[in-house]
């Protein structure tokens, strides 16, 4: 632990909390360090543009460098590596099949799959396209798009019947989407494939737009109501964490 660096970073955190900035003395009190030491740290941070001093009030606030790096960073974060550790957690906690599905220009794709350890498995392929109306992730994705985009997708793909449970009525689907938005997750019981049940939650990016969804799927015999209830909680929790990793600030 490099002490001066530690202190410098604490200064940054402190300064970032006060939009209008803080004075040297104020910072010195909070960090519990000598004024002159704080001053020197601030100067170093200033030289790098991480902190800047208001010319009039003499107070210190976050600098342009921070903003510069942030925006570049937010644009360049990759979903997959950010999500991976959380997906792994879901895998070990549930022992079911975990899917990461991204939405990109009218299409949804599986980009990650974790198998779980149990023997009875659902079959799926990374890269395969996802049905929007008949899967939990698909429903979650369209539920959080703007209405126009969702309408275009549904228009284009229609509502083909996959099983007896598939929602083929548009009105019913719209109600289902509303439900998904309010409760924060989506469930699908044998709507896509007989014997398979699924639960999914959304991932949002730094602009607040939906970019992906995570689903947990398994045999309906195992994913019964009480089990889904358990899984739901941790699924939503991890999805929120992934969203925050992408810079999402809501919730």
Partner DNA sequence: AAACGTGGTTTCCTAATAAGAAACGAAAGA
Partner DNA sequence: TCTTTCGTTTCTTATTAGGAAACCACGTTT
Judged by the rule CB under 8 A, the positions of this chain that interact with its own copies are: 1-2, 4-6, 8-10, 12-13, 16, 19, 40-41, 43-45, 47-48, 50, 54-55, 62, 64, 66-78, 81, 85, 206-207, 244-249
CB of 9 to its own copies, least distance (A): 4
Q: Residue 174's binding partner, choosing from DNA, its own copies, none, with beta-carbon cut-off 5 to 8 A by kind?
A: none
Smallest distance, Å, CB 169 to DNA? 53
70 binds, among its own copies, DNA, none (CB under 5 to 8 A by kind): its own copies
The C-alpha atoms of residue 126 and residue 48 are separated, in whole angstroms, by 43
Would you say 56 or 164 has its CB closer to DNA? 56
Task: Round to whole Å and give the CA distance between 198 and 141.
Answer: 14
Per-residue tokens: 211: 């970019």
Token pair of 113 as six digits: 């799959």
Q: Give the one entry of DNA, its own copies, none that residue 249 binds, where binding means its C-beta sits below a cut-off of 5 to 8 angstroms depending on kind.
A: its own copies
Kindly list the residues in this chain that would bind DNA in the complex (CB under 7 A): 1-4, 7, 23-26, 33-37, 39-42, 53, 58-59
Bridge partners of 62, per DSSP, are 51
- From DNA, its own copies, none, which one binds at residue 246 (CB under 5 to 8 Å depending on kind)? its own copies
* Rounded Cα gap, residues 134 and 172, in angstroms: 12
In whole angstroms, give the CA distance from residue 111 to residue 88: 14
154 binds, among DNA, its own copies, none (CB under 5 to 8 A by kind): none
Which residue's CB is nearer to its own copies, number 67 or number 120?
67
Residue 53 and residue 59 in contact, taking contact as beta carbons nearer than 8 Å? yes
Q: Give 3 or 125: the residue with its C-beta nearer to DNA.
A: 3
- Count of beta carbons in the 10 Å neighbourhood of residue 71: 12
3-state secondary structure of 104: strand
Which CB, 31 or 154, lies closer to DNA? 31
Distance in angstroms (rounded) separating the CA atoms of residues 233 and 237: 6
Residue 31 CB, nearest approach to DNA (Å):
9
Residue 128: partners with Cβ closer than 8 Å, 6 or more residues away: 109, 110
């Amino acid at each position: 632990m490099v002490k001066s660096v530690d202190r410098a970073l604490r200064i940054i955190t402190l300064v970032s909390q006060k939009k209008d900035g803080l004075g040297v003395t104020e910072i010195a009190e909070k960090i519990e360090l000598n004024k002159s030491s704080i001053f020197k740290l601030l100067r170093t941070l200033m030289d790098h543009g991480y902190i800047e001093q208001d010319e009039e009030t003499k107070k210190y606030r976050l600098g342009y460098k921070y903003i510069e790096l942030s925006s570049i960073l937010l644009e360049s974060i990759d979903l997959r590596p950010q999500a991976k550790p959380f997906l792994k957690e879901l895998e070990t906690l549930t022992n079911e099949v975990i899917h990461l599905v991204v939405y990109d220009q009218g299409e949804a794709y599986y980009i990650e799959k974790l198998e779980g350890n149990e023997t009875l498995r659902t079959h799926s392929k990374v890269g395969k396209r996802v049905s929007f109306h008949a899967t939990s992730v698909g429903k979650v994705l369209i539920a959080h798009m703007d209405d126009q985009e969702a309408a275009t997708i549904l228009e284009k793909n229609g509502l083909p019947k996959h099983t007896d449970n598939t929602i083929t009525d548009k009105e019913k689907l719209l109600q289902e989407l509303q439900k998904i938005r309010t409760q924060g997750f989506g469930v699908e019981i044998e709507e896509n494939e007989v014997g398979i049940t699924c639960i999914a939650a959304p991932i949002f990016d730094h602009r607040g737009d939906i970019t992906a969804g995570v689903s947990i799927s398994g045999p309906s015999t195992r994913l019964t109501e009480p089990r889904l209830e358990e899984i739901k909680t941790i699924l939503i929790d991890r999805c929120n964490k992934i969203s925050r990793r992408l810079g999402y600030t809501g919730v």
